[in-house]
Each structure stands twice: as structure tokens, then as C-alpha cells.
Structure 1
Amino acid sequence: MKHKALVIGESVQSFLCVIRSLGRRGIRVDTASNRLDHPALFSRYIQNRFMLNPYSSGRDEWVKRLNLLLKSGDYDLVIPCHDSTIVPMQANRESLAHLSRITILEPGCFDLISSKLKTWELAKNAGVNVPEQMQVFSIQDLAEARQRFSLPLVLKPETSVTVENIHTRHVVRKIHSRDQLDEVGRSMLATGPFLVQKPFYGTGTGVEFLARHGKILTAFQHLRIHEKIGGGPSCYRKSIPLMPHLLHATRKIIERLDYTGVGMAEFKIHPDTGDWVFLEINGRFWGSLPLAVASGADFPFDLFQMMILDKTDFSSQTYKKGIFCRNLLLDGAWFVESFRQNHFGTRFNHFSLPRFLKEAANIFKGCERWDAITLDDPLPGIMQMKNVGADLIKGTPLHIPWT
């Protein structure tokens, strides 16, 4: 009898990648999503597609519908891929059927990594390099932060998503002027205190991992090549060898969290000096997951093996270095944004013709992959491009899903 998994999500990045990873291994994959016309749902690896309406705080219809899916499907494993599902699951975990089969974190661990302040304090106490920061409760605190660190500044919400307002994502903002600081600061204070950090200039890198009870079983590292200017996800990345000092820092944090599951530790590293800082933990499958899988670090299947087959020895696994992976839609937006806002960029993250030509050569070298389009499952990527083309023809403004 085949194993069965329910994958819940809504993107062509982690959601589609998890579907493909499990489907390629012969696992029967069903999906639940808040729309049935999403490009990812055209994957050949999906057996059944179910509708799961968006969560509304204070209502139990969402939990009832989810429990109905969990009970009727008899799934070996349930994998939520996005905060819009994970956060409600965490808040309603005592009401969920078959909880042991759902890949969500233990409450204490989730509470810690959901708070950027608590994560920063935990890392600092573990002796991990972190950026300088202060917590802001008022306009007076904001003025003090400007005097202490000087512009530009990074303004970070204490929590990205809350169950009370699951459909609003609080984003990190980079501030370049006093007027902008006052405007954005007042807006953020309306929802509560936030963090102000001194910027660290460098390149984003992530150490992805699978852990059990605080022990990292397997790991992978990528380097961001293109990322949203001012802060945000990467749209073009490269697999690189694990840096021992960053893996060591990740281990110290994961041990203190007694972490079980997949995740990514985010860092910034200066390519010239080697200086680095830890930023945060992404406690779920991450947007650049297609690069890891394309490089041979098959985290969705590894998670399945750990949870269902009780496998803990992944010591023989290796992955390919020097593989590039691009999100075509987001990277197109990056080129436009970089060209328009280059005066706000840095030399680590900006457009230039020589750089473009050098990166384009990766396609002909055979070391580039794409998030949505794969040879064995091309339809999701084709449908995504079709939707974009239709919007352009109709003159509909494109909504670029950076988050």
C-alpha cells in the first residue's frame, strides 16, 4: 500500500516543490488550497485537490473542514507550507485530528521563533553574532534609535503574521530618510512595538536543515544572488558548500530550541571581510526550497523518512555545489526594480550588463534550474506564464507575490 500525504499551500515555490518531491518518490499526494485554479495545482503528481477556505480568527469552520480532510484521507503525513495555514494550526492544535501526523513545531519552539525579539535574544545568549538593535515603543524611542545607529535603519515587526490578522503580513522596511522614518515608524507603532536594527551590509545566505530534538540530521547552504531590494525573499540563488562557522551557529540555536522539523537559519555575510550576522529562523519550508531539491538535498522526502520511517542517519547524503535556481517571475520583477532603484541598492544586489551576461551563461552551462518549470512536470510553470501573459494583454497590473 502506498504512503499518502496531504500538502497544504498556495505557491509555486515551497508548496509545488514539496508536491513534486514526494510524488517523484511514489508517495500519493493530495493537496488543500484556498483556490483550485492555482498554477501549482496543475502538477502531474497530485492525486486529489481539495478546497480549504482561508482561515478566519474566532470561527471554527476552518478547523472543522480541515479535520474532515484529515480523518477522511487517512494520511501518513500532513505538511502545511505557509504561515496562513501554519499559524492557525498552531493556535488550534488541541482541536486538530491526527496531530502527531502534522509537521508543525512544538508550541514553545514555535513561540520563540515567531518572535523576532526572542529569537534575537536566544541567539545572542548562545554567543551567535547578531546585528545591533533596540526595541521601540514610542516616537521618542525611534528618535533615540536614529541617534544611536544613524540612517539608514532597518525596521522589523516583532512578528510577521498573527492569528488575529492572518492575511496581513508585517514586512521588514529599510529606511533612508528622517521623513520616511517618522512616517513608517508611526504606522508600525499603531500595531505595537517593533525593532530597529543597524543595517549589516552583505549577501544573504541560508543554512537549511532537518533536525530532531535539537540535533541537525542533514543540512544545506545557499547564497542569494538576487534578492528584493530593501529586504525580502531571494529570486536567484546558488548552492554552496556548508560554511562550518555558520553551521556551528545554527547548531547552537537549534539545540537551545530542541527543534524538530525542517527550517532555515538566515544570515548575512560580507564577501570581502567574512564578517557575518544571524538574522532569524524560518520555521517551515522556505521559498528557495527548489534549489535545495535540485541540488540533491531533498528535504521534503527526508522529512517524510524521519517522521514516518523513523530515519535519523543521513550522514551519507551529499548535494551538488554550484547549482543556480531562478524564480522567473520574481527575478523579472527584480530586474525592473533594480534598474529603477539602483541608487538605493548596494554592490551586492544590483543590475549591471556584465553581471546579467555572466548569469545568463549558467543556462548554457547546464547548471541553472527554474522554480516552477521542470522537465518532468512542466504544466505548473506554463500555467504561471500563461496567467502573467493574459494579465499583460488585458493591461491588468501585475501583483508580484514577494512574500
Structure 2
Amino acid sequence: MAEDWALRQRRTNKLVRKLASYMFKQDNITPAQLYGLSKLSWITNSYEGDNASYINSTKIPALEKIFDSSFKNIPHDEVYIKISEIIGDNTVLNLLQSHTGFTNFYKAYRNSVFNWVNDNFTELLPLYKAAYSAKNSTDRKAIVESIAVLPGIPKANHPGSLMSPEYFLTPAFFLLDVDIKFPLINGNKSVKALLKKLGVGNSELVTQYSAMVKLYGTGGIQDAADLDQVTGELSDFIGTASEPAKKALLKKKETNNENELPLKDEDDVEAIWEAGKIKQRRIHNQLTNKLKNSLSNYTLLEGCNQSCMFDALIPKYNEDKEDLLIEVKSSTETPHIRMAVGQLFNYWYELKGGTSPNIAILLPERPSQSIVTFLEWMNVGLMWFENDQLCTVNDWLKHLTSER
């Protein structure tokens, strides 16, 4: 299953904040501890699965630095249990056992950056503590202004080749910030493309930071983790006068409006019809919320343009990194199915042009066999809920469901 990167980032944030809370209470914090805390944001090319190499190459060494201990030849679970006992927080154990880290920091700087932390420790320690305790945009902007005047980070064996300090520090401050409002500003191609799109690609750091945080509240983007997910598709999330936004992050839907439309005299017939619509909308929203909960390991998007109001889109839903478009219907009756099929093909064309569609319908229950057969003939996927369990008849969708 492809993991929702924002979920991994937020999990790492929770872990680092718990470790930082323990660390910052100490009297004699060392450069090695700051380095270790930052290193928890790192991964390698192997970052998923039981044998992911980043665990031994970055995660365990980072924990050794933070706790000034050697965990060599100790099973990972024993290390994690020991750490949770040291800081007296049982919730840390699950965070440590889960995959963490999210940035493949430049290998040529992974060792030399430790010397840089050591050389600039007096300036860095207050910034780390300030990032941990930041309460608002003023606090964060002051930290960014301080980053901007720090010296560059030298490359191993090439001291004249300097890396911008924000490449190392913004992932660390992303992890320390309680509200995750520090955007990642590094050499990643998607970040560079975003800064260019915002017209600040060649601007100084504070201007770049200000341009990025202005995107919060746009297209459902609430924090830096959300922003990092949509960076590559930002043009779809930001509207212009000539081209409205097409996508937004899927948010929880309202399902509790029980008292609308009381019956009133000559308006009774219309009110009854409208009440039926409200019931359908409530079911629709309940299904959408269930889908979001069931697929919490994925980033789900929704349409926000009147010409393309799709219910849900899962980017990179399969091993081929393809997108899946889902239409939610509150009824299994044939007219609803026909409408859903037409909507799906139209929405896909609006989003993807003439490419081969990956589309599916989500229903409140399994429909009749004739509808199942029809959807298979149309190559449209089918999903439904049995209680709270997501189900499907399609082998190509089973990795998303409880049947996986």
C-alpha cells in the first residue's frame, strides 16, 4: 500500500516533539543531540517495509545521538521500549515502531553538517527551542529571519561548496512545530518548482517563506504537511481569473442536519422532495467520511470547480502510481448508477484528457448482480461498505479494502 506522506510526516512530528520535550528539560544539551533530532527527518531510498535500510543508517544512529547511548546489536523493539521507559511516555513506543522520516537529505552533507551544528551551536540551540515553542506566524518569521543570516553548510572534502542552511533546518523545524506551519524549503525539485510558480524562486529566504505560508487556507491546505502533498500539482489548487481551481484536499462532511425543511401548507410537496434530497446528501456525506477514514493512509482530494465537482481522487493509489477517481452515490438504483458512470468519464476527461481512466463508484451497499455486471463491462470499479468495512468485487481495488 502506498503511504500517505502527510500521515508519515505528522507521525514524525509527534515523535520528535516528544523527544524534544524530554531533551530540552536537560541542563547540558549537546550539538550531537540537536544533530540527532534533525536526523530523524532523514530517510534513504529504502524507507518502507520491515527491512527498510534507513532504520539502521539514520533512525537508530539519530536516537543514539539524542540519548547519548549505543544501541549496536540491540533489536529495534528493545531500543524503542528502552527509550519509552527513559522518557516515561508509553505513546512514544508506537511512534518509534512506525516508519518515520521523510526527506532524503543530501548524502554529501550528512556528515559535514554535524561539524556545522557544532560550530554554530550557540546560535542554533535557541532557534530549535523557539521552533518547539512557536505560537504564531510572528514567532516563525523571526526564526526564518535568523536562519537567513546563518553561514552555509560546507560539503565534505569540498569546503567551498556550501549548502543553504534552510535545507537542513526547515525539515527539523517542521518536526518541532506544534502546528506544523514551517514549510519545507530545500533543494527538492518540487519545492523549487513551487517557488518558481509563486514567483519567488530567486528571492531571499524570508520572501520565499512568506509566499509559501500565504497558501494556507487555499484548496483545503491547512499546514506544511498538506502543502508538501500538493506542491507538484499546485496549479490545480490555486485559481486564477481565467482558470478556477479544480482540486482541494478532501475534508470531513456534515452529516447531522436532521431538522431542515419542516412541512408548511402548500409547500408540502416541494418540502417532501427537498427532504428526500437532504437524506440522500446525508448518506452521501456519511459514505465520503467513511471513505476518508478507511483510506487514512492516502491523501484524498475533492473537486472544487463547478465544471469538475468530483467526490474523491486518490493520487498514486496503486503500484504504477496512477490516480483513482471515485464518485459517491447514496443509492444503488439504476438511474444513480447511470449518472455516476457519466460523471466519472466526464470528470476524468476534464482532469486527465484522453488518458485511460481509472474510475470507481462507491455505494452504501452491494448493488444487484446486473449492475455489478454492467460496471464490469464498462471497466468501472465498484466499492461499498458493509458496516464500516470497505468492500469491492474488483481485484485491482482490493488493496484499498478490508479484503486486502
> One fold, TM greater than 0.5?
no
Structure ranking higher in strand proportion: 1
Structure (1/2) with the larger helix percentage: 2
Structure 2 length as normaliser, TM-score?
Answer: 0.27
Larger gyration radius, structure 1 or structure 2: 2
Q: Which has the higher contact order (CA 8 A, sep 6+)?
A: 1
TM-score, with normalisation over the residues of structure 1? 0.27
